[in-house]
Every structure is written in structure tokens, then in C-alpha cells.
């Protein structure tokens, strides 16, 4: 490959930029893109024997690579929709022709270099890209756990269930395997044998956490009295956060398992690496779909409960406000959790209806109803009409008096006596 060219490989999560070090670094620097060095030496097991392998190996040794997370900004730079399809339907490739200067315009080439034309090496690049994407998600999850100020190990150990205790141990094993992998440079049979049975524990715990979230939502739905609903809402608020921590830890550990698994396959059976990578991607998407389904249903139920609480604010102003505040807190936590996993949510927070607003709505309805009613009673004579007017005025006066008292006490809610 000429030093005037850089190769680009793209998938759904990131872009690999390959070429001579100076060309790659200069290009990425000019576009102000954050990137990570790709250890291309790990692809050597993917080369076979013979002249083609020697050529590919030589190209591999001469190349340097960096990985860029796919975002709105990087997508514009690389124009990934114009990339030529690679050996897999979800890999694309192209070459940036520089002509002595940096250009972000991608020109499709008919004779790509050995790295791009060798299916095994291209699959290896795709494998490393998948690893980097999952590691990026793992790092973001770690940051997320810090933001919500929850130490995952403390949450897990606080649970008495054996399943969660097992997950704690799985996390330690995977963390240890990651350290060994970084030190040795590959995942050998010894390292893999220590963790290859962990997938079942992670899957079992994820299923357990999803069912726990479903149970919390059902518990809210079963409460009809506002006092009980307010109490249950506060309990659900704390427990949902804990189960989301467990769930996000499961997702993080499964990504860690997949990262190590890809490296193990690259060394043990490089000829099936591409199919294995595709299979792991499908499996990951299914897990994400399960999480999306459960959390969206949770948000849907929470939204319904909040709306019910708002509809009862006239007689239960304090309890109604407590329910809306608690459900909004849960919704915010769930939506933040979803965003960390790349899930888009259609749900937001619901504004708690003020008691005075509810009173005003009732007053308007009374006034409208009275006006309509008077039109219909004209036929009964003046006495009947006057009695109806007196009744309507009495209701309106009562409402106005309650509003006045509420304002005098600087309260936005009704007197405590109403909450019964």
C-alpha cells in the first residue's frame, strides 16, 4: 500500500483506519477524532501458509491501525454509507486517496491491498473492531456506575440470593482473565478454561433481574388506594435502581466474555472467526432486545400509574404528588440506563398536577354544567331556576374559599384534612 493511502474498514459500531503510522495519525489528527491503537500483530494467527500468506504477513507488519468509535461526527468524516462491502454483510472497506494532502473523500478501489483482500485478515480486523466496541461499552458502563454512585459489588453482596452471589464471583474471574489477556497478548486455553462456563451464570442472573423488574411493575399496578400506592412507589424507586445495577453488570460481563472469546477463537480456529463474530453480534442484539422490552414495559406501567395519581390529586394531593415524584425518579433512572446501552426511549417525566389546578378544572366543569343545565330548566319556571342558580353559586363559593385558604397558608396543596 502506498504511503499516500489509508485503508478504512467500518462496521456498525466503529471504523478501523489502517496504513503507515504518519498517514493514519495525520489524518485522524486533522479531523480531531479520538482513537485507540489497534494491535494488528494479533492477526498473525489468521495468516495461512504459502506465498499469499507471506505477502499478507508483510503487509500486516508494515501497517498501523487505529480504531474510532462510530458517531454522528465520525460518520460524516468517513461517509460510511459509501464504503465497499467487505467479506461480511456488516463490514465495509475503502481507501482514502490523499494525492499529497488529507482528504475525507473515499474512493472505492478495485485492487485493495493484501490486508483488505485477504478474507482471514479482514475477518481478524472485524474481530478486533468488535472487541474494541464492546470494551468501549464496558468502559461507559463503569462510568455510569460511578455516576449513579452505586458500587456494584456492594449491591450484589447485599442480596441474599445465591444467583447474585455467583455473579460476584464471575465478575472476579473475568476481570482476572482480562488482566492476563492484556499482559500475555492472547487468550490461551488455560485462561479460557477458567471462564468458559460463566456464560450460563450471567444469563441466569440477567433473566432473574428482568423478572424482578417485571414484578416491581406489577406490584405498583395492583395498588388502588393512593396511600398504599405512594408507599409502594417509594419502595419501587429504590429497588429498581438496584436491579438496574445488576442488569447493567450482567451486560458488561457478557461483553467481557465475548471480547475474550473472540481472541480465543482467533488463536484456536481463525478460519471460523468471522462466523463466530457474527454469531456473537446476533446473540448480543437478542440480549439487548430482551432488556429493551422489559424496561419499555416498565416505563409504560410507571407512566400509567403516574397518570392515575395525577387524576386523583383533588382528593389526595400529597399522596398523588409523592407517586408522581417517585415514578418520575424511576423513569429518569431507567431512561439513563437505556441510553448507556444505546436504547432509545419514548418516555419522559410527567409534571405533577397542582391541587389548585385540579380545583379550577372542577370549578370550570361545575360552571359549564350549571350553564347548560339552566338552559334546560327554563321551562320549569323562575322558582326552579333560582334554586339551581343558588346551588351552583354555593358550589363555586365553596371551591373559591378552599383556594383562598390554601393561598393564605402558602401551600400549593389542599389542607391535610382532605387527604383521607
| pLDDT confidence band for 201 (50 / 70 / 90) | very high
At residue 81, the pLDDT reads 43
Phi then psi for residue 161, to 5 deg, are -75, 140
Does pLDDT of 175 surpass 90? yes
The pLDDT tens digits for 124-162 are 888 888 898 998 899 888 888 777 655 555 665 666 566
At residue 328, the pLDDT reads 80
Nearest to 328 by CA among 340, 339, 320, 318: 320
At residue 88, the pLDDT reads 53
94, 81 Cβ separation under 8 angstroms? no
**CA-CA distance, 202 to 348, in Å (whole number)?**
30
At residue 389, the pLDDT reads 44
Please tell me which of 22-31, 216-225, 284-293 the model is most confident about, judged by mean pLDDT. 284-293
Q: How high does pLDDT run on average in the chain?
A: 72
Mean pLDDT of 16-33: 85
Kindly report the pTM of this predicted structure: 0.69
CA atoms 375, 378, 379, 383: torsion sign? positive
Helix (H), strand (E) at residue 65: strand 64-69
| pLDDT confidence band for 355 (50 / 70 / 90) | very low
- CA distances to 27, 74, 96 from 32, in Å: 9, 10, 17
More confident residue, 196 or 412: 196
The pLDDT tens digits for 234-261 are 788 878 888 998 899 999 999 999 999 9
**CA-CA distance, 66 to 374, in Å (whole number)?**
80
Phi then psi for residue 376, to 5 deg, are -85, -15
| pLDDT confidence band for 18 (50 / 70 / 90) | confident
Three-class SS of residue 414? Answer: coil
Contacts of 301 (CB under 8 A, 6+ apart): 217, 218, 220, 221
DSSP 108: -
At residue 364, the pLDDT reads 45
Amino acid at each position: 500500500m502506498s504511503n499516500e493511502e489509508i485503508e478504512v474498514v467500518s462496521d456498525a459500531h466503529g471504523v478501523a483506519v489502517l496504513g503507515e503510522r504518519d498517514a493514519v495519525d495525520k489524518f485522524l489528527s486533522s479531523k480531531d477524532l479520538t482513537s485507540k491503537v489497534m494491535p494488528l500483530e494479533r492477526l498473525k494467527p489468521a495468516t495461512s501458509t504459502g506465498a499469499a500468506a507471506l505477502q499478507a504477513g508483510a503487509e500486516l507488519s508494515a501497517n498501523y491501525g487505529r480504531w474510532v468509535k462510530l458517531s454522528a461526527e465520525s460518520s460524516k468524516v468517513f461517509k460510511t454509507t459509501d464504503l465497499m462491502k467487505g467479506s461480511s454483510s456488516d463490514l465495509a472497506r475503502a481507501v482514502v486517496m490523499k494525492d499529497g494532502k488529507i482528504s475525507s473523500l473515499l474512493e472505492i478501489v478495485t485492487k485493495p491491498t493484501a490486508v483488505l483482500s485477504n478474507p482471514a485478515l479482514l475477518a481478524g480486523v472485524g474481530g478486533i473492531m468488535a472487541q474494541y466496541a464492546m470494551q468501549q461499552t464496558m468502559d461507559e458502563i463503569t462510568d455510569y456506575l460511578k455516576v449513579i454512585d452505586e458500587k456494584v459489588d456492594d449491591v450484589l453482596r447485599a442480596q441474599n440470593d445465591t444467583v447474585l452471589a455467583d455473579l460476584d464471583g464471575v465478575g472476579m474471574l473475568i476481570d482476572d482473565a482480562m488482566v492476563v489477556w492484556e499482559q500475555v497478548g492472547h487468550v490461551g486455553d488455560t485462561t479460557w478454561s477458567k471462564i468458559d462456563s460463566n456464560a450460563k451464570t450471567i444469563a441466569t442472573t440477567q433473566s432473574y433481574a428482568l423478572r424482578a423488574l417485571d414484578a416491581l411493575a406489577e406490584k405498583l399496578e395492583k395498588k388502588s388506594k393512593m396511600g398504599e400506592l405512594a408507599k409502594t412507589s417509594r419502595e419501587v424507586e429504590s429497588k429498581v435502581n438496584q436491579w438496574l445495577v445488576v442488569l447493567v453488570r450482567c451486560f458488561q460481563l457478557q461483553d467481557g466474555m465475548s471480547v475474550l472469546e473472540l481472541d480465543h477463537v482467533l488463536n484456536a480456529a481463525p478460519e471460523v472467526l468471522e462466523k463466530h463474530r457474527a454469531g456473537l453480534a446476533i446473540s448480543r442484539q437478542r440480549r439487548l432486545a430482551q432488556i429493551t422490552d422489559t424496561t419499555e414495559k416498565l416505563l409504560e406501567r410507571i407512566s400509567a400509574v403516574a397518570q392515575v395519581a395525577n387524576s386523583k390529586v383533588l382528593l389526595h394531593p400529597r399522596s398523588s404528588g409523592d407517586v408522581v415524584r417517585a415514578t418520575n425518579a424511576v423513569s429518569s433512572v431507567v431512561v439513563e440506563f437505556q441510553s448507556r446501552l444505546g436504547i432509545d426511549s419514548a418516555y419522559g417525566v410527567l409534571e405533577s398536577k397542582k391541587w389548585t389546578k385540579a380545583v379550577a378544572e372542577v370549578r370550570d366543569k361545575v360552571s359549564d354544567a350549571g350553564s347548560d343545565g339552566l338552559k334546560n330548566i327554563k321551562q320549569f319556571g323562575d322558582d326552579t331556576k333560582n334554586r339551581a342558580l343558588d346551588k351552583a353559586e354555593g358550589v363555586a363559593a365553596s371551591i373559591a374559599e378552599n383556594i383562598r385558604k390554601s393561598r393564605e397558608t402558602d401551600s400549593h396543596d389542599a389542607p391535610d384534612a382532605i387527604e383521607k
